[in-house]
């Protein structure tokens, strides 16, 4: 879109008041209520609902509502905050389910925790709306939309790292296609996820603006292009060579944390992992948390006696190796421990690579921990008033050093991202040692019906951005084999025990995003900002 076109739209002093714009007139009569409703509806574009046309309409209406009501940046901030409050409350409603799997805090607290989190998250849409209103002033049309898109890109990037970050459900996630095609998310190698969110605002707002101005041909063309992009078939798949066995044991959080179930859980994993062909070189994948046995040597014996088969890490390793058979290597979620002076000082949420000779070939420690899940912020203040973390245990998990690639020889170079880590665009790969694939073990049983499909969708986005296949092994689903186009080759649905035998899809060449990281979407934000400023200057002449 050119600056000349933007400036041609800028001279409107008010939105049209007839025809398709009647809805905007109705919404403008009660802008606070309208912002709340539109924020709620915009979140229906995320999985598992996937109502992206409705969500785009709501997002576009909100962007134009800011223009219609005017009132300066303070009013923009207020309306943006209201929009974000309902948007994040509905989109993150799955968090409340996690409170049903622990006994330290009442379940009802979960339904309070979600809107309280949204009170904070809504600050980011508030900042985007305030900045757009401040830059565009009294102008109407495409210029404020362009500023809003640029500001949204920047604030979404900020949301990914401020206070350790919570990057769940960037707005562009609604442009991800069904399992067999990437949708408009196919653009992320050249945009990045956060710039795709800016494109979402431009697409929704531009279509609604065309309708409001009775440019029906333009609106129809925009809708047709969006639909075509969402359902355009994926390119022909490329086949890999390394056999993979991925196991989803269907273990609930209650089963995982119950010591009486440890042995039964292992036997189920082992039975589902036996080789189909003797001597086949396989990569076997087990989920986060599924294996209770401690596999590292050197812990005080009392810890092995509580969890590890026969109280012996050597025996635990050997029986896993026998399960795999010759020629196989296991990547499994596991807990590792740190001791200082004989006392437990830290816990690691880790992935261990164990070969068929019962030797550990590498360990990855989760770096991006979940606040209130794996550690309790401000523990000295919150613990005395009865608050605790959701995962059992009183010792906080300690973070690892960040993205690392495990070099596994014939089993390829594995990038590891445990559970929640996969949602952080631009933070999932060691760029100095690019892996062949990303392994994403998870325990999604905490998160009800909405959480697992949203988590899978974000893993697909990382595959597209980085040009790398992603292998997800979860305890209860959705486990999946995702190729470098973001296409789900095979999957195990929620709440079933299933084994997937397949071959590792090949990686693509490093994408532009894989080379540049989040400099790329920030560059697009700068481009949009400059385009808007040039258009404003031309309009002022």
Both tokens assigned to 113: 């925790």
**Which among 417, 394, 392 is positioned nearest to 404, based on CA atoms?**
417
Both tokens assigned to 331: 């990547």
* CA pair distance 414, 289, nearest whole angstrom: 19
Do residues 456 and 446 lie in contact, with contact meaning Cβ atoms separated by under 8 Å? no
* CA pair distance 362, 331, nearest whole angstrom: 9
- In order of 106, 373, 425, the CA distances from 109 in angstroms are 6, 14, 30
Spacing of C-alpha 346 from chain mean position? 26
User: Residue 407: is it exposed, middle or buried by C-beta count within 10 angstroms (0-12/13-18/19+)?
Assistant: middle
- DSSP one-letter code for 205: H
Where do the domains of the chain lie, and which CATH numbers do they carry? 3-235+518-540 (no CATH), 243-505 (3.60.110.10)
User: Per this entry, what is the length of the chain?
Assistant: 541
* CA pair distance 439, 464, nearest whole angstrom: 15
pLDDT recorded at residue 446: 83
Q: Is 279 left (phi over 0), alpha (psi -120 to 50) or beta?
A: left
pLDDT recorded at residue 103: 55
In sequence order, which residues have a C-beta less than 8 Å from that of residue 455 and are 6 or more positions away? 419, 422, 423, 442, 444, 447, 478
* CA pair distance 399, 422, nearest whole angstrom: 15
* CA pair distance 288, 137, nearest whole angstrom: 50
Do residues 469 and 536 lie in contact, with contact meaning Cβ atoms separated by under 8 Å? no
Do residues 110 and 97 lie in contact, with contact meaning Cβ atoms separated by under 8 Å? yes
Both tokens assigned to 241: 């060579």
**Which among 236, 244, 290 is positioned nearest to 412, based on CA atoms?**
244
Quickly count: other Cβ atoms within 10 Å of residue 397's Cβ: 22
Task: Give me the tens of pLDDT residue by residue for the chain, a chain 541 residues long.
Answer: 434 444 444 444 334 434 346 777 878 889 999 999 999 999 999 999 999 999 999 999 999 999 888 888 999 999 999 999 999 999 999 988 877 766 565 667 778 888 999 999 999 999 999 999 999 888 888 999 999 999 999 999 999 999 889 999 999 999 999 999 999 999 999 999 999 999 999 999 999 999 988 899 999 999 999 999 999 999 888 889 999 999 999 999 889 988 999 999 999 999 999 998 877 789 999 999 889 999 999 999 999 998 988 899 999 999 999 999 888 999 999 999 999 888 888 899 999 999 999 999 999 999 988 776 665 554 454 444 445 545 555 677 888 999 999 999 999 999 999 999 999 999 999 999 999 999 999 999 888 899 999 999 999 999 999 999 999 999 998 999 999 999 999 999 999 999 999 999 999 999 999 999 999 999 999 999 999 999 988 876 6
Q: Return the ∠ at Cα 8 (arms to 6 and 9), rounded to 5°.
A: 70
* CA pair distance 80, 455, nearest whole angstrom: 25
The alpha helices in 327-420, defined as continuous H runs, are 379-382
3-state secondary structure 428-495: CCCCCCCCCEEEEEECHHHHCCCHHHHHHHHHHHHHHHHCCCEEEEECCCCEEEECCCCCEEEEECCC
Both tokens assigned to 414: 């594995």
- DSSP one-letter code for 375: B
pLDDT recorded at residue 186: 97
């Amino acid at each position: 879109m050119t600056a000349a076109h933007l400036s041609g739209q800028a001279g409107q002093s008010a939105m049209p008041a007839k025809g398709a714009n009647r809805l905007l007139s109705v919404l403008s009569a009660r802008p606070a209520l309208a912002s709340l409703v539109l924020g709620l509806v915009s979140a229906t574009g995320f999985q598992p609902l996937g109502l992206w046309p409705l969500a785009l309409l709501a997002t576009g209406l909100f962007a134009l509502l800011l223009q219609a009501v005017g009132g300066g940046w303070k009013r923009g901030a207020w309306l943006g905050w209201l929009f974000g409050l309902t948007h994040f409350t509905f989109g993150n409603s799955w968090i409340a389910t996690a409170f049903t799997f622990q006994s330290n805090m009442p379940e009802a607290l979960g339904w309070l925790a979600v809107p309280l989190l949204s009170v904070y998250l809504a600050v980011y849409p508030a900042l985007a709306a305030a900045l757009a209103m401040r830059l565009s002033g009294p102008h109407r049309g495409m210029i404020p939309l362009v500023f809003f898109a640029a500001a949204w890109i920047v604030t979404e990037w900020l949301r990914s790292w401020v206070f350790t970050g919570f990057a769940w459900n960037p707005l562009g996630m609604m442009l991800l296609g069904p399992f067999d095609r990437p949708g408009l998310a196919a653009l992320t190698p050249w945009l990045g996820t956060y710039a795709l969110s800016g494109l979402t605002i431009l697409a929704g707002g531009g279509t609604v603006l065309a309708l409001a101005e009775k440019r029906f041909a333009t609106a129809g063309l925009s809708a047709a292009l969006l639909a075509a992009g969402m359902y355009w078939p994926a390119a022909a798949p490329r086949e890999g060579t390394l056999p993979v066995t991925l196991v989803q044991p269907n273990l609930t959080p209650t089963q995982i944390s119950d010591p009486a179930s440890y042995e039964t859980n292992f036997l189920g994993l082992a039975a589902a992992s036996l080789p189909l062909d003797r001597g086949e070189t396989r990569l076997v994948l087990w989920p986060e948390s599924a294996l209770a046995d401690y596999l590292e040597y050197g812990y005080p014996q009392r810890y092995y006696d509580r969890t590890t088969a026969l109280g012996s890490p050597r025996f635990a390793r050997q029986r896993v190796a026998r399960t795999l058979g010759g020629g196989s290597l296991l990547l499994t979620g596991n807990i590792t421990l740190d001791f200082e002076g004989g006392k437990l000082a830290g816990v690691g949420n880790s992935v261990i690579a164990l070969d068929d000779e019962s030797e550990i070939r590498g360990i990855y420690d989760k770096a991006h921990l979940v606040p209130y899940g794996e550690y309790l912020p401000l523990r000295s203040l919150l613990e005395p008033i009865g608050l605790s973390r959701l995962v059992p245990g009183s010792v906080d998990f300690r973070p690892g050093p960040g993205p690392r690639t495990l070099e596994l020889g014939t089993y390829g170079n594995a990038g590891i991202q445990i559970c929640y880590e996969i949602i952080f665009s631009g933070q999932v790969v060691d760029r100095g040692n690019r892996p062949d694939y990303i392994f994403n073990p998870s325990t999604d049983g905490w998160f009800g019906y909405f959480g697992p499909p949203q988590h899978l969708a974000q893993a697909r986005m990382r595959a597209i951005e980085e040009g790398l296949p992603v292998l997800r092994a979860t305890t209860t689903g959705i486990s999946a084999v995702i190729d470098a186009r973001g296409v789900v080759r095979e999957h195990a649905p929620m709440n079933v025990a299933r084994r997937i035998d397949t071959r590792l899809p090949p990686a693509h060449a490093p994408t532009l995003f894989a080379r540049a990281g989040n400099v790329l979407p920030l560059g697009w934000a700068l481009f949009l900002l400059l385009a808007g400023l040039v258009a404003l200057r031309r309009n002022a002449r």
